[in-house]
Chains A and B, each alone.
Chain A
Amino acid sequence: MTSPPSPPFEPANTLGRRPRLAVHKLSSCDGCQLALLNAGESLLTLAERFDIVHFAEAGIIDVDAEADIALVEGSVSTAEEAKRIQAIRARSRWLMPIGACATAGGPQALRNLADAEAWIASLYPEPQHIDARPTADAVAAHVHVELELPGCPVSTTQVLAALASLLAGATPFAEQDKVCLDCKRRGQVCVLVTQDAPCLGPVTVTGCDALCTSLGRACYGCYGPAENPEVATLAQRFAELGLDAEAVTRRFLFQQSGAEPFQQRVRAWHPKLQAGSATASADRGRDLASADRGSSMLSSMTSGMTSADRNLSMTSKEDDDD
């Protein structure tokens, strides 16, 4: 267990000015900015207590502004973003990636497990115009960050609590509990035990208020792996419940496929799908063209194709299969 570092400033009343807050965006759907914009009255309070210097969804645009606290949504997916995140880091005293994309790459990180260049080549007639790095990375893979708040989208409550703690000169609380514990604290009934639902609650960090299980649905892990996540054990359980190996793997291939413990499960299912990471070489993806079945599953997920359509996907068939 690691503790987040100390806050970047003394309590607001000793700073002599309002702390500056920036909300940046990389490759993302803007949902995390909207989660913040949805804060209602708290947003007005936030605007009183902070000098909001950049927050595109709220109409405040100054991407180069210096900030005491910078929230960043989105993954580092393009060369321009790789450069920009360095600049954001240099101008921010406290950097806080928010949401699944910024903390684990998001759904776009599915390409980390495949041949991204081949995908682009198959989709665009003139792929040379596409600026896309071979991997979509978490912000922390590029720069030092002070605290990550996961989720798809990020929890408004968690962001506000973190900001409130920082304003008070306190270290923000970093949630580590699993969804299961949160689910039971709320008096909810285990969907895995009563319905055989392939719930990721046992390996997922909470922050979502156990939303899906409150509706009788299985958690799909959008907050990402908790500490000590027994992914292999849960995958084994899903197999016992009758899911085939591909269906088990798909459970770990939503917004958090870029998170190492979930990615391990994908590699265990198909060893040729090597880990995508920010440090991996750009041409690594080419070797993965041979990972026929896995790539084809991944491409079907991203393009919305069904399993039945998989033979039509772009993956090379010339390489060996398993």
Chain B
Amino acid sequence: MTATHFLPRQHLQTLLDQLDALGYRCIGPQVRDGTIVFDRLSDATALPVGIGAHQTPGRYRLEHQDHPRCFAWANGPQALKPLLFAPQERLWRTERDDAGRLSFTSEPQPMQRQAIIGVRACDLAALALQDAHFAGPRADPGYSRRRRDLLLVGVECGQPANTCFCASTGDGPAISTGADLALTELDTGFLVRAASEVGSALCDALPLRAPSDEERAQGAAEIEQARLRQCRSLPGRNLRESLFANLDHPRWDEVATRCLACGNCVAVCPTCFCSTEREQPSIDGSSSTHLRLWDSCFSAEHSYVHGRLLRPDTRTRYRQWLTHKLGGWHDQYGRSGCVGCGRCIAWCPVGIDLTAETNAICADASESAQEAP
């Protein structure tokens, strides 16, 4: 059992300073554009102090609250994904010399150790899935470079949103693995657990003290409460059979009447990994840049397979998204692609609820789950 320490709130800045001293570029949550985004962070007062986030399907609002906590919100539209799987990334550049010969050069990527503060359990579960995709046997160079030396300070989630369901997927709200440091926030400070060598070394440099029994108990109770407060759930953790047995379920037609096919669910999903590539030729004809961009199963290009538009409409594109996410991932990565963060529900402009759609389509799975709990 890892030792639990306590970091008094007034020493939170020391954590950032220590990371800075170790050569890490710190990135953490802060308020911007009506939500919480992850960006460069060197000053602990820039964290969302006294901020709560009210999330419901298709709606996100921040609210000021009377408390000193800076992680009293569930999540914002993004966390780790754009920091590792870049939304737009230059892969290579082609140059043409005077004789017309082409040469190809990969994009140089500056090395920068990054420390990310405020990562949730669901984000860590998503990171493990992104690792399986991007850092597996055929590792993606850009992703791997950014992933290496990444230091993660997780913060357990005590304030789940109405859209959260990580308890149902088994990915939160408590942090079990994946972070170097795991924090639990109380009014007076943070319970701190080191979960890696780097994390232990960092703990040694922090002004920690032993937590009181009361502090330990309060931390555990808050996270348990966060688990119990979640009001959405999926009908099971492996819905592969049920989904593929229901490809003609009338609910696909019905959800297609509500879905915009805008791809926002894909963009905010911390596990979605599809991409497309584009060429950017210079007007003088001497060079061209090859880009990789986030794609979505709701786009035409992604639906175009081998000479024809295989998925021409919203019904087939939504079905592709959900059956891949909750079904096909089991074949690819040995688990569902959903970590219960609820972003696709809050950030869907029309508030489509993945759990409601899945419960409707996999009603047979829910019934059998009830019969054999």
Dominant SS among interface residues on chain A: helix
When C-beta atoms are compared, the residue in chain B nearest to A165 turns out to be: B281
Minimum Cβ distance to chain B for residue A163 (Å): 7
- Assembly CA distance A202 to B303 (angstroms): 17
Residues of A within 8 A of B33 (CB): 188-189, 194, 216
Q: Are B313 and A184 neighbours in the complex by a CB distance under 8 Å? A: no
Query: Does B148 reach chain A (CB closer than 8 Å)?
Result: no
- Assembly CA distance A177 to B304 (angstroms): 13
When C-beta atoms are compared, the residue in chain A nearest to B61 turns out to be: A194
Query: Does B207 reach chain A (CB closer than 8 Å)?
Result: no
Q: Are A185 and B294 neighbours in the complex by a CB distance under 8 Å? A: yes
Contact flags A200-243 to B (C-beta < 8 A → 1, else 0): 01110000000000001000000000011010011001000000
Would A163 and B283 be within 8 Å (CB), given that A1-B309, A184-B87, A190-B349 are in contact? Answer: yes
- Assembly CA distance A228 to B300 (angstroms): 8
Listed stretches A41-49, A66-74, A274-282, A304-312; interface member: A41-49
Query: Does B208 reach chain A (CB closer than 8 Å)?
Result: no
Residues of B within 8 A of A190 (CB): 60, 77, 264, 347, 349
Residues of B within 8 A of A42 (CB): 283
- Assembly CA distance A201 to B349 (angstroms): 10
Q: Are A160 and B283 neighbours in the complex by a CB distance under 8 Å? A: yes
Query: Does B360 reach chain A (CB closer than 8 Å)?
Result: no
Query: Does B268 reach chain A (CB closer than 8 Å)?
Result: yes
Query: Does B150 reach chain A (CB closer than 8 Å)?
Result: no
Would A230 and B314 be within 8 Å (CB), given that A178-B262, A193-B346 are in contact? Answer: yes
Residues of B within 8 A of A46 (CB): 283
Contact flags B251-269 to A (C-beta < 8 A → 1, else 0): 0000001111111100110
Q: Are B299 and A181 neighbours in the complex by a CB distance under 8 Å? A: yes
Minimum Cβ distance to chain A for residue B18 (Å): 28
Query: Does A161 reach chain B (CB closer than 8 Å)?
Result: yes
Query: Does A83 reach chain B (CB closer than 8 Å)?
Result: no
Residues of A within 8 A of B67 (CB): none
Query: Does B142 reach chain A (CB closer than 8 Å)?
Result: no
Q: Are A189 and B280 neighbours in the complex by a CB distance under 8 Å? A: no
- Assembly CA distance A163 to B100 (angstroms): 19
Q: Are A189 and B32 neighbours in the complex by a CB distance under 8 Å? A: yes
Residues of A within 8 A of B43 (CB): none
When C-beta atoms are compared, the residue in chain A nearest to B296 turns out to be: A181
Query: Does A164 reach chain B (CB closer than 8 Å)?
Result: yes
Give the size category of A's interface with B: 35 or more
Residues of A within 8 A of B299 (CB): 176-178, 181
- Assembly CA distance A177 to B281 (angstroms): 19
Q: Are B88 and A185 neighbours in the complex by a CB distance under 8 Å? A: yes
Minimum Cβ distance to chain A for residue B305 (Å): 11
Query: Does A22 reach chain B (CB closer than 8 Å)?
Result: no
Q: Are B263 and A181 neighbours in the complex by a CB distance under 8 Å? A: yes
Would A161 and B280 be within 8 Å (CB), given that A181-B296, A202-B262 are in contact? Answer: yes
Query: Does A173 reach chain B (CB closer than 8 Å)?
Result: yes
8 A Cβ contacts from A178-202 to B:
178, 180-181, 184-190, 192-196, 199, 201-202
Would A230 and B260 be within 8 Å (CB), given that A161-B281, A164-B282, A185-B88 are in contact? Answer: yes
- Assembly CA distance A167 to B262 (angstroms): 33
Would A167 and B285 be within 8 Å (CB), given that A187-B87, A230-B260 are in contact? Answer: yes
In-complex Cβ contact of A164 among B278, B285, B314 (8 A): B285
Q: Are B263 and A233 neighbours in the complex by a CB distance under 8 Å? A: no
Q: Are A184 and B281 neighbours in the complex by a CB distance under 8 Å? A: no
Q: Are B82 and A203 neighbours in the complex by a CB distance under 8 Å? A: no
Q: Are A168 and B258 neighbours in the complex by a CB distance under 8 Å? A: no
Minimum Cβ distance to chain B for residue A74 (Å): 24
What is A's interface to B at a CB cutoff of 8 Å? 1, 12-13, 42, 45-46, 48-49, 160-161, 163-165, 167-168, 170, 173, 176-178, 180-181, 184-190, 192-196, 199, 201-203, 216, 227-228, 230, 233-234, 237
Selected A-B contacts with CB under 8 Å, 16 pairs: A1-B300, A1-B304, A165-B281, A170-B281, A176-B300, A181-B296, A185-B88, A190-B77, A190-B347, A192-B58, A193-B346, A193-B348, A202-B262, A228-B314, A230-B314, A237-B260
Q: A164-B282, A176-B299, A192-B349 are in contact. List 10 more A-B contacts (CB 8 A).
A: A178-B262, A178-B263, A184-B87, A186-B87, A189-B32, A189-B34, A196-B59, A227-B300, A230-B260, A234-B260
**CB-based closest 6 A-B pairs:** A184-B267, A202-B262, A194-B34, A180-B262, A164-B281, A189-B33
What is B's interface to A at a CB cutoff of 8 Å? 32-35, 37, 58-61, 77-78, 82, 87-88, 100, 257-264, 267-268, 278-285, 293-296, 298-301, 303-304, 309, 312-314, 317, 346-350
